[in-house]
């Protein structure tokens, strides 16, 4: 499988600042970031990492929140 060649900071230009995200390292079990897209800009070490996979998920809450799970290289 070829890399997407999409840095995380470029992906963030496609979503609104209130979009919920969960960023996971390629070989890790736990997310390295969970929160709103606007807050991930505080984690500069993640912004230049390449996106491997993006998956839309839904949390079962009274509001049925949708978020993106993003795996990075």
Domains of the chain by residue range = 8-72
Neighbours of 9 (CB within 10 A): 15
**pLDDT for residue 65:** 81
Q: How far apart are the C-alpha atoms of 28 and 71, rounded to whole Å?
A: 9
Confirm if 35 and 43 have CB atoms less than 8 A apart: no
Instruction: Give the pLDDT score at 9.
Output: 95
8 Å CB contact between 2 and 49: no
Residue-level pLDDT at 35? 93
Note down pLDDT in tens along the chain; length 73 residues. Answer: 566 689 999 999 999 999 999 999 988 989 999 999 999 999 999 999 999 999 999 887 666 788 999 999 8
* Torsion sign over Cα 26, 41, 18, 9: negative
């Amino acid at each position: 499988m070829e890399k997407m060649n999409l840095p995380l900071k470029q992906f963030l230009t496609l979503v609104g600042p209130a979009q919920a995200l969960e960023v996971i390292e390629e070989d890790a079990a736990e997310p390295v970031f969970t929160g709103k897209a606007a807050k991930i800009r505080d984690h500069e070490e993640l912004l230049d990492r390449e996106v491997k996979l993006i998956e839309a998920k839904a949390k079962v809450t009274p509001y049925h929140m949708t978020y993106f799970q993003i795996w990075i290289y």
